[in-house]
Amino acid sequence: MANQVGLALRDIGNRVFGGYAELLRMPHTARFAVGSVIASMPFPMIGMTITISVQHYYGSYALAGALTAVQAVALALVGPLLGKLVDKFGQRQVSIPTVIVWIIASTALISCITARSPEWVLYCITPFLAAIPPWGAMSRGRWTHLLKGDRVRTDRALSLSGVFDECMWVIGNPLASILAVISGILAFSFTGVCVIVGAIMILTELSTEPPSQTQLARQAGMTRKEYRAKEAAKAAELQGEVGKQSIWGPGLIAVCVTWFGLGAFQSAASISIVAFAREQSMEQYTGFVFACFSLSSLIGAIMYGAKNWVIPLWKRFYFCLLVVNLGIGTFMFARHLWVIMIIYLIIGVCQAPTWINGNQLILHLVPPTRFTEGVAWMGAMNAVGASVGSAIAGQFIDRFGSHGGFAVVTALALASLLIAFIGLRQIRSSTEKPTLTQVQI
């Protein structure tokens, strides 16, 4: 009996994790996949570190919130630009100087915070913390380059990237809280070490790096501008959009607007949950509630990538979006923090798959040599939406309490869903055509 149970568990484990293990056993893939996650640790850690450090030395949550907002807006503006530069000139050429800028900026900021420098100095330095290469998009770009033409394994690789991202957020937020409470210098130093170690792992792995537009243009004997024009024309022909030379078609616009709404209502939900917990004198449990959501999302990513889906991508995309939007929209009816936690556990399984589906949509919407830029635009729109959503919710919370914030969350979630369905035709039609990774010049 015990042997049969063991064999059954081994079979289940092989079905769930076997595909992921196969990808990581490919030469050099584990190195860049893990390295990109380590290098991305500033994303979950830096905002929390700034908040705790600034509050400790300046005694002002307002200043801490303003600085984290400045950094978020700067990330939203700089992210697509860095993604575009990576596609143009190559991952190493862009990442190395960007990492140097980030290390100098982070060192200068924590030095100024501990020295209690004038606030305007902090505002001047903080935007430079947006100098973070798009490690996640670059890792996904490597996977799509390696697995070009293999749809099943490409989808699973994007799911694996989602699994790693969720692990990063599950670990990063509480770790930042612990280290920053001990010492802001310690938290910044740890993050800096992660950036350096991760950058070395991914940037020294040359065999998996996709060629840049500059390299491909040189090989084709033309200028980069000529190459981009020819590639865009080929992609437009594949999509039935003759004459189009920009990645900004209706499909990409629909996805990016949807991601703006996703960021808006999820950020508004986070700040409303904190206010709700404070009203119930349960603020010590808010981290646990968010961890439940991240853990559920992690499980969703693992299970989603383990299955070879026959359901069309656009149907999976809208189903996951419906679950997340409507689920979070019910928070306004909750009367206890544990109810919100249970809802998070249920709908969290669709959170990571929503992002995975979005990455898969980008494969249909932009040429392969502009994939990093396309993914970066998704992230930027999500960050801008998060800033807008938290700002709106904050105003209503100050006036009406946490349920005023949850009313904003519900309104934003329903509006986001409506906007997403307005783009249904564009998103559906794009998924019914070959992925643009199949474009050959």
pLDDT digits (tens, 9 = 90+) for 185-244: 787 888 888 889 989 988 888 888 888 878 777 877 777 777 777 776 666 665 555 444
> What is the reported pLDDT for 124?
92
Instruction: Decide if 7-209 and 247-441 have a common fold.
Output: yes
φ, ψ for residue 433 (rounded to 5)? Answer: -115, 160
Q: Identify the pLDDT of residue 440.
A: 43
Model pLDDT, residue 333: 86
On whether the CB atoms of residues 357 and 323 are closer than 8 A, the answer is no
CATH number of 7-209, picked from 1.10.10.10, 3.50.50.60, 3.40.390.10, 1.20.1250.20: 1.20.1250.20
Which has the closest alpha carbon to 413: 436, 439, 393? 393
What's this model's pTM, rounded to 2 decimal places?
0.72
In this predicted structure, what is the pLDDT of residue 441?
40
Please list, in sequence order, all residues whose beta carbon lies within 8 angstroms of the beta carbon of residue 404, skipping any fewer than 6 positions away.
396, 397
Three-state SS at 213 = helix
Q: Which residues of the chain have pLDDT under 50?
A: 5, 242-244, 438-441
d(CA 52, CA 126): 15
Give the residue extent of every domain in the chain. Answer: 7-209, 247-441
For position 243, what pLDDT does the model report?
Answer: 43
- Supply the CATH classification number for the domain 247-441: 1.20.1250.20
Q: pLDDT for 333-366, tens place per residue?
A: 888 888 888 998 898 888 888 888 888 888 777 7
Crossing angle (nearest 10°) for helices 250-279 and 313-329: 30
